Structure 1
Amino acid sequence: MMRAVVVKTPGPVESLQLAEVPEPSPGPGELAIDVAYAGVGFVDTLFRSGAFGVPTPFTPGIEVTGHVREVGPDVVGFRPGQPVAALLNDFGRGMRAGGYAEVAVAHAAMATRLPDDADLARMAAVLVNGVTAWLALHDLARLGVHDNVLVLGASGGLGSIAGRIAAGHPARTVTGVFGRTPGRPSATGPWTHTVRSDDLGSIGSGEVDVVVDPVGGELSRRAYELLAPFGRLVVLGNASGHEHPVSTDSAWLGSRQVLGLSLGGVAHLVPDRVAAALSAVVGLTHRDVLREPAPAVLPLEQAADAHRALEQRRAPAKTVLAVR
């Protein structure tokens, strides 16, 4: 038996209950991992609340670090005791998640080995957002050194890491869009410029090559209108909860592109790309090239507190749960 945070009936944060459940075993192509840290993201609150209609009972958590506990059949390149990072959101293979637990099972294609001296808490904080941002910028937007990048939701975890990856590419400029007055760009931050969401009109039409959009809604529509010819709007989410469809005529006449990425829906179809992105993100983080702020760390028992802070928009850029 092991400790895990379980949702028996989807609902508010009180639906997260610490329980003793059977330990999972790896199947063919899978690894069992002794979880050290589990990342907490806004998408976890959607799973918990029932937005995606996943079967219950289930354990949230789609990004973990720890050590290999057991190797399933047909797995090569991993052995018990190795430090690893893994994504648990390959939902095209069936329901996964399960990170808020002492033992989690991941597909080997969604895991990568870590250096023995890796900071496991820091690594757990960059996995989902880092891989999503990497694929969005490199594989979809095909970011170039002459591109001007606009990042919506720049204060959030995904927006922040997308800005840092774009700046490190390097793009020509990286502008962060904040909901509140952002002040001047920090010397340690990724932003060439910052702007409030209600001042987006200060950016001239045709001055943006790539928009990274985890926000959606009216802000997404206004950002799309700023794209230059051959500009790319990369949709990574809809935190606003509102959709503003883009007309195909505007894409045609403006020679602009709308691209989308749902990592959990496509990971099983492009495992090599996911593995390459995962390796790149953890490597850059370990070498301190990708300098995301240190995550807040809470014990597993306080998973509900982490969800509450996310829903009330008062959470730090990233929180991880200390499991072991």
Structure 2
Amino acid sequence: MSLRTRSIFTKLPRANQLTQLTKPASRLSLLTNHLSLRTMASSQVPKTMKGILIEKTGGTEVLQYKTDLPVPTPKDGEVLVKNDYIGINYIDTYFRTGLYPSPKPEILGKEASGHIVSLGPSVTGFSENDRVVWLGATGYAEYTAAPAAKTVKIPSAISSPDACAAILQGLTALTLTEEAHPVRNGDWVLVLAASGGVGGWLCQILKAKGVHTIATVGSEGKVAVAKESGAEVVVVEGEGVVQQKVKECTGGKGVVAVFDGVGKTTFDRSLEVVARKGTLVSFGNASGAVAPFAVSKLSAKNNKVVRPSLFNYITTTEEFEQYTSKLFKLMTEDHMKVRIHETYPLKDVARAHNVSMGMIIFVIHLMDVTGSRRPKDYG
């Protein structure tokens, strides 16, 4: 699928382009221009915005595209961000379907990148027009009052769409491999659904750590995606094939860890292939929630099962800053790839929720896509 859209908005040039686009100016005039831009940012915030509202749980039919939602006012500890790129993740479907209960009506969306247009009371460390990426809630909208403690400035070497596409899935994979099960060089692990967003990040990070990765995908068409992400061995899902491949690769010992974002349909198999004293990291419910099970099953091989949440690893500002710094370093110095599978305008949210491979982002005020799967970044 490809997306074509026409240029209907303009943006200011990047800061590093100003000297090329303007005549020499005094420090005073540049400062005056900067202050004018800051004033303009907050004064031009409209009263209403476009966004996606759900008033009840269900399928994609409950996703309502609205053009008259109220623009939020940032409270203490919040920054108002004009979203340019909005990430879509499996967790959004959990809230839509009711797998994760939440109050309704609700605006979905856990991440976006954009520019700060105003600051809430007592917020420090940010300025209007800062280019940022955030984690939180109510992302499927033009504006979000994001928590300042979960907002970070985007380094100049990273594009806004890449920052948006990486922040939630990249941090998830990073925390899983450092805290849910700290991997070691030479380990054999199993990653399920490796062509997905978190799966792809896991494969890249595990390879960088010297870990041998067996990856599963749902079809032959997704094998190349998993291999490009760094999987050493790729298996297409089928009856008994994963168990057999794990046995071959590990000499019958099993993998030291399984990273399972599938859930209900793969949980028992994941316990079957994990090694003695190994760990099953169950972090997703793509096939449904895992059914209750007797904990005595774990004693057969002294296994551990963990069910982590990203937000419990980055609860404090220090934790969030530590992990975002590591993620940005992986992207800039270790050249880890951000794979954006497809882009959609916000109004096509239902179509986007039906896509099952890779990272999906919504594009707000896009200047030019011209059929490309990768959005062009304008700052």
Shorter chain as normaliser: what TM range?
0.7 to 0.9
In structure 2, the residue matched to 1:92 is none
The code of the aligned residue for 1:201 comes to Q
Q: Classify 1:14/1:161 alpha carbon distance in 2 versus 1 (closer, same or farther; 3 Å).
A: same
SS of 1:170 mapped into structure 2: coil
Q: How far is 1:157 from its partner?
A: 1.4
The code of the aligned residue for 1:294 comes to I
1:136 equivalent in alignment to 2:136? no
The code of the aligned residue for 1:273 comes to E
Which of the residues 160, 164, 168 maps onto 1:120?
A: 160
Q: How far is 1:192 from its partner?
A: 0.6
Residue deviations 1:262-302 (CA, integer Å, cap 9, x gap): 234x2674443333223322342345622132341111121
In structure 1, the residue matched to 2:338 is 292
In structure 2, the residue matched to 1:232 is 279
User: 1: distance between equivalents of 2:142 and 2:225?
Assistant: 40
Which of the residues 142, 146, 150 maps onto 1:110?
A: 150
1:82-97, aligned counterparts within 5 Å? 82-88=130-136, 97=137
Are the aligned partners of 2:63 and 2:349 in contact in 1 as well (CA < 8 Å)?
A: yes
1:79 equivalent in alignment to 2:119? no
19-28 vs 2-11, which moves further: 2-11
Unaligned segments of structure 1, at least 5 residues: 89-96
Are the aligned partners of 1:125 and 1:319 in contact in 2 as well (CA < 8 Å)?
A: yes
Structure ID, larger Rg: 2
User: 2: distance between equivalents of 1:184 and 1:155?
Assistant: 9
Which of the residues 156, 160, 169 maps onto 2:196?
A: 156
Identity, % of aligned pairs? Answer: 27
Are the aligned partners of 1:197 and 1:219 in contact in 2 as well (CA < 8 Å)?
A: no
Q: How far is 1:242 from its partner?
A: 5.1
Are the aligned partners of 2:214 and 2:232 in contact in 1 as well (CA < 8 Å)?
A: yes
Are the aligned partners of 1:200 and 1:223 in contact in 2 as well (CA < 8 Å)?
A: no
User: 2: distance between equivalents of 1:12 and 1:185?
Assistant: 28
1:1-324, aligned counterparts within 5 Å? 1-19=48-66, 20-88=68-136, 97-171=137-211, 173-181=212-220, 183=223, 188-198=228-238, 199-202=241-244, 203-204=246-247, 205-241=252-288, 243-245=290-292, 247-264=294-311, 266=312, 269-287=315-333, 289-307=335-353, 309-310=354-355, 313=356, 316-324=357-365
User: 2: distance between equivalents of 1:242 and 1:62?
Assistant: 20
Q: Classify 1:286/1:16 alpha carbon distance in 2 versus 1 (closer, same or farther; 3 Å).
A: farther
Give me the CA root mean square deviation.
2.3
User: 1: distance between equivalents of 2:274 and 2:226?
Assistant: 26
Provide TM-score, normalisation by structure 2. 0.75
Q: How far is 1:229 from its partner?
A: 3.0
Q: How far is 1:218 from its partner?
A: 4.2
Aligned pair count reads 309
Unaligned segments of structure 2, at least 5 residues: 1-47, 366-379
Are the aligned partners of 2:215 and 2:226 in contact in 1 as well (CA < 8 Å)?
A: no
Residue deviations 1:143-170 (CA, integer Å, cap 9, x gap): 1112112101112212111111111223
Residue deviations 1:82-132 (CA, integer Å, cap 9, x gap): 1111111xxxxxxxx211111112212212111235311122112211111
Are the aligned partners of 2:81 and 2:118 in contact in 1 as well (CA < 8 Å)?
A: yes
Are the aligned partners of 1:71 and 1:80 in contact in 2 as well (CA < 8 Å)?
A: yes
184-193 vs 66-75, which moves further: 184-193
User: 1: distance between equivalents of 2:59 and 2:273?
Assistant: 38
